[in-house]
Amino acid sequence: MPDEPINPPPTSFVEWPDEMRVENLRDTLAASPDPDTLWVFGAGSLIWDPRFDPDETRIATLADHRRAFSFWTIRARGSFERPGLGLALEPGGTCEGVVFRVPEAGREGILDALWRREMSGGVYVPTWAQAHTETGKVWALGFVANRGHQNYAGQLPVEISARIIATALGTRGTCHEYLSLLVDALEDHGIEDHETFDLHQRVQRELKAVT
């Protein structure tokens, strides 16, 4: 694990044009292992704010990905002056989250809104992965960190991540508020993520140290 970010905080935005985003969505759907049913895996804010009414919701575990704050956010929960860290899936380990079955009715609009939300600048690689639920496995769409992106910071030591998250501020508020919302959502669903909980505790100590 590097002591320094793989890339420094970016000094410019990356904006995907509409045609690139639409093509990415089309290619992602074409690669689905189960085109008859569409599940989306929530690791972060999708858990408490999917912004659509799913046909079904289940607690699920990815056996080959983990949750990590591994890319720079310079808009929603950070800025050029006070950059934050955004959440993504990283290969390896396990990640417990929530899967949402996307209804057929209105699916095109739901996916367009999802891609505008998650893929406006290409910081993720939409990835199909098997999610394990109490009632069986499903193929779900998750958002994995794009390691070739200028915003990719890598997986930093927890004490460095805590300092960054504690000071970051963007157009949607502080980065530490996002982390607190995530912890609340995980606890509400009975999901244990000791690394995320430890990061949250460290961020709270950082905040207390400056007040």
3-state secondary structure of 18: helix
Q: Is 118 a catalytic residue?
A: yes
Query: What's the confidence (pLDDT) of residue 3?
Result: 73
Given this model, what pLDDT does residue 2 score?
66
State the burial class of residue 157 (Cβ atoms within 10 Å of its Cβ: 0-12, 13-18, 19+).
exposed
Q: What is the mean pLDDT of residues 183-203?
A: 98
Q: Cβ contacts of residue 129 below 8 Å, gap of 6+?
A: 41, 62, 64, 65, 139, 140, 142
Say if CB 24 and CB 116 are below 8 A apart.
no
Q: At what angle do helices 107-118 and 18-30 cross, to 10 degrees?
A: 120
CA 158 to chain centroid:
17
**Scanning the structure block, which residue is given the tokens 């420094």?**
8
Average pLDDT of the chain, as a whole number: 97
23, 81, 118, 206: which is the annotated catalytic residue? 118
Q: What's the rounded mean pLDDT across residues 78-96? A: 98
Considering the chain, what percentage of its residues have pLDDT values greater than 90? 97
Q: Report the pLDDT value the prediction gives residue 4, as an integer from 0 to 100.
A: 86
Given a contact cutoff of 8 angstroms between Cβ atoms, the answer to whether 168 and 77 are in contact is yes
Q: How many CB atoms lie within 10 A of CB 198?
A: 12
Tell me the per-residue pLDDT of 19-68, one tens digit each, with 9 for 90 and over.
Answer: 999 999 999 999 999 999 999 999 999 999 999 999 999 999 999 999 99
H/E element holding 149? none
Residue 13 pLDDT greater than 80, yes or no: yes
Look up the pTM and report it: 0.96
Residue found under tokens 């290409």: 122
Residue 210 pLDDT: 82
Q: How confident is the model at residue 188 (pLDDT cuts 50, 70, 90)?
A: very high
C-alpha distances out from residue 211 to 4, 6, 174, 200, 208, Å: 27, 31, 16, 17, 5
CA–CA dist 47, 63 (Å, integer): 18
pLDDT of amino acid 108: 97
